[in-house]
């Protein structure tokens, strides 16, 4: 249980030496002897070794993995890289594990980062198994992936790109730029003034409004901007009533500006919900990108006369104009039985995606392709017909090799779509004998996450671990804690 205190709750090792903690443990069980810090670290090390062995066994059992990675700067100004792996196991379960979190020495060039990644891949014996690496859009990270094996596909984090689209769009609408600045000032004012905060609470009670705190946006996360707007609108009456009691040193939102803010919320909401949904690391996400962009366009059409909506459509055109022709996204969309060809705006892109899938299967070795043609050669008792029968058998094998994948794909596409809330991996588990080659390819393609958010969460946890009280924690210990933290 003490290990969970360290690796799940991210408490420092020194907690076992704190007087209050020791008093609590003694009260709960006077017979229990609290281990010293050195012993506790040994227990954590043993737990790490066991967890690492278990992860390694799972990795050894699969032939393909996807990777998310990101870099981060600690409180000690150390540069850290974290690598998380994603794969679909034999039981069609999507698995995610933090493999390594380590300090980067030297420069952050693409070559240096690439070498670090290669070393981590070799340590975990997954070199040759990595098919996709998802990173943010930083030039050095993209260069690092390019310097890996040619078979590794570089995938840009969709959440980062979506964040960029919305940020640029918000910055391109003058009215919203001014409104956003006023919103920040209002939130900051209530957070900085005890009197204003108390008055807001008083107004919330008087108006029977939800007793929620105001939210200040984080510049690097546009979804926090949406949350700030949403909370301000929720508390509009309480805020405007509270501000009447003070001489504020800035201009508050006008009636027209409140209206603009309220009108912007339903336009931004689909982008916010999509960001939250694709940030999940527990479900298949890569196949949602095409259909998500398609649905965003549909949502924007409902507000075609709004300047923010117009700007979002324009910016999306710059960043997402080739998204349907992306090989990975196209195959993932078709291989998801929830979306298939309905995930495309343009039917010609769906056709290209189908060709890519067939070619991928044909590029497997002949022994890997499961023949779905069940015809059997006609037995011959006469040696006169032996050579002819052999020719027929050979020709049937060639036809099955060439046309089997196409037939398998067409049969799959003619099957009914499954419910959007259903698990596509469960579908492939249930239909592996019916569509063996597609199921094999789906394992490779659908394991890739749409975003590098899992690594972002790692750094959030790492920031909690390397706090001011624990800034001397060794990076090797940090690595062990973060690997154990993932349950």
CA distance 67 to 295: 27
Question: Phi and psi (nearest 5°) for 61?
Answer: -85, -10
What is the predicted pLDDT for the residue at 463? 46
Residue tagged 């918000």 (tokens): 170
What domains can be seen in the chain, in order of their start residue? 1-157+451-485 (3.30.420), 162-279 (no CATH)
What is the predicted pLDDT for the residue at 48? 87
Residue tagged 């890996």 (tokens): 148
| Contact status, residue 90 vs residue 57, Cβ threshold 8 Å | no
CA distance 241 to 185: 16
| Contact status, residue 87 vs residue 65, Cβ threshold 8 Å | yes
How buried is 393 (Cβ within 10 angstroms: 0-12 exposed, 13-18 middle, 19+ buried)? Answer: middle
What is the predicted pLDDT for the residue at 200? 97
CA distance 21 to 12: 12
How is residue 286 written in tokens?
């890569």
Q: Which residues, in sequence order, are CB contacts of 189 under 8 Å at separation 6+?
A: 196, 248, 250
Closest by CA position to 332, among listed 346, 316, 319, 344: 344
Rg (CA), the chain: 28
What is the predicted pLDDT for the residue at 458? 43
CA distance 334 to 415: 12
Residue tagged 């069940």 (tokens): 374
What is the predicted pLDDT for the residue at 106? 78
CA distance 20 to 183: 42
Q: Digits of tens for pLDDT over the chain (487 positions)?
A: 777 777 777 787 888 888 888 898 889 889 988 888 888 889 888 988 999 999 999 999 999 999 999 887 766 667 888 899 999 999 999 999 999 988 888 777 888 899 999 999 999 999 999 999 999 888 999 999 999 988 899 999 999 999 999 999 999 999 999 999 999 999 999 999 999 999 999 999 999 999 999 999 998 888 899 999 999 999 999 999 999 999 888 889 999 999 999 999 999 999 999 988 887 657 899 999 999 999 999 999 999 999 999 999 999 999 999 999 999 999 999 999 999 999 998 999 999 999 999 999 998 755 566 655 555 555 555 566 676 667 666 655 554 445 578 999 999 999 999 999 999 999 999 999 999 999 999 999 999 999 987 544 544 544 444 444 444 556 677 778 888 876 5
> Please, what sign has the CA dihedral across residues 227, 230, 234, 238?
positive
How is residue 334 written in tokens?
């078709």
Written in H, E and C, the secondary structure of the chain is CHHHHHHCCCCCHHHHHCHHHHHHHHHHCCCCCCCCHHHHHHHHHHHHHHHHHHHHHHHHCCCCEEEEEEEEECCCCCEEEEEEEEEECCCCCEEEEEEEEEECCCCCCHHHHHHHHHHHHHHCCCCCCEEEEEECCCHHHHHHHHCCCCCCEEEECHHHHHHHHHHHHHHCCHHHHHHHHHHHHHHHHHHHCHHHHHHHHHHHHHHCCCCCCCCCCECCEHHHHHHHHHHHHHCHHHHHHHHCCCCCCCCCCCHHHHHHHHHHHHHHHHHHHHHHHHCCCCCCCCCHHHHHHHHHHHHHHCCCCCHHHHHHHHHHHHHHCCHHHCHHHHHHHHCCCCCHHHHCCCHHHHHHHHHHHHHHHHCCCCCCCCCCCCCCCCCCCCHHHHHHHHHHHHHHHHHHHHHHHHHHHHHHHHCCCCCCCCCHHHHHHHCCCCCHHHHHHHHHHCCCCCCCHHHHHHHHHHHHHCCHHHCCCCHHHHHHHHHHHCC
Between helices 222-234 and 158-171, what is the axis angle to 10°?
Answer: 60
**What is the CA angle 129-93-341, rounded to 5?**
85
């Amino acid at each position: 249980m003490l290990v969970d205190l360290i690796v799940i709750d991210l408490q420092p090792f020194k907690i076992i030496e704190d007087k209050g903690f020791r008093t609590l443990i003694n009260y709960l069980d006077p017979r229990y002897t609290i281990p010293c810090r050195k012993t506790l670290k040994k227990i954590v090390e043993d737990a790490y070794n066991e967890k690492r062995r278990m992860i390694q066994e799972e990795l050894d059992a699969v032939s393909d993995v996807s990777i998310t990675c990101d870099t981060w700067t600690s409180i000690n100004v150390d540069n850290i890289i974290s690598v998380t792996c994603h794969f679909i196991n034999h039981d069609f379960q999507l698995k995610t594990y933090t493999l390594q979190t380590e300090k980067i020495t030297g420069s952050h060039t693409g070559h240096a980062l690439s070498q670090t990644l290669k070393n981590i891949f070799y340590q975990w014996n997954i070199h040759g198994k990595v098919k996709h690496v998802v990173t943010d859009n930083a030039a050095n990270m993209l260069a690092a992936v390019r310097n890996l094996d040619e078979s590794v596909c570089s995938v840009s984090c969709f959440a980062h790109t979506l964040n960029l689209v919305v940020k640029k769009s918000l910055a391109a609408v003058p009215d919203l730029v001014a409104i956003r600045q006023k919103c920040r000032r209002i939130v900051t004012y209530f957070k900085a003034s005890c009197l204003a905060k108390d008055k807001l609470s008083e107004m919330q009670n008087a108006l029977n409004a939800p007793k929620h705190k105001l939210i200040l946006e984080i510049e690097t996360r546009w979804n926090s901007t949406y949350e700030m707007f949403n909370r301000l609108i929720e508390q509009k009456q309480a805020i405007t009533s509270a501000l009447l009691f003070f001489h504020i040193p800035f201009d508050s939102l006008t009636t027209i500006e409140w209206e603009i803010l309220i009108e912007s919320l339903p336009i931004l909401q689909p982008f916010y919900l999509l960001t939250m949904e694709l940030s999940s690391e527990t479900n298949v996400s890569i196949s949602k990108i095409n259909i998500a962009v398609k649905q965003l366009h549909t949502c924007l059409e409902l507000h075609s006369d709004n300047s923010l909506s117009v700007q979002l459509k324009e910016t999306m055109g710059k960043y997402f104009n080739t998204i349907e022709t992306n090989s990975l996204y196209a195959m993932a969309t078709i291989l998801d039985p929830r979306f298939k060809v309905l995930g495309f705006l343009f039917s010609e892109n769906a056709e290209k995606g189908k060709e890519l899938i067939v070619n991928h299967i044909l590029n497997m070795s002949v022994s890997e392709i499961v023949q779905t043609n069940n015809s059997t050669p006609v037995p011959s008792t006469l040696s006169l017909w032996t050579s002819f029968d052999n020719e027929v058998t050979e020709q049937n094998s060639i036809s099955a090799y060439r046309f089997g994948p196409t037939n398998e794909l067409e049969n799959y596409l003619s099957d009914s779509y499954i419910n959007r809330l259903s698990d596509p991996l469960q579908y492939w588990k249930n239909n592996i004998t019916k569509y063996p080659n597609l199921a094999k390819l789906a394992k490779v393609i659908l394991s890739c996450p749409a975003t590098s958010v899992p690594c972002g969460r790692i750094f959030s946890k790492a920031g909690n671990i390397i706090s001011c009280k624990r800034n001397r924690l060794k990076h090797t210990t940090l690595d062990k804690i973060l690997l154990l933290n993932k349950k």
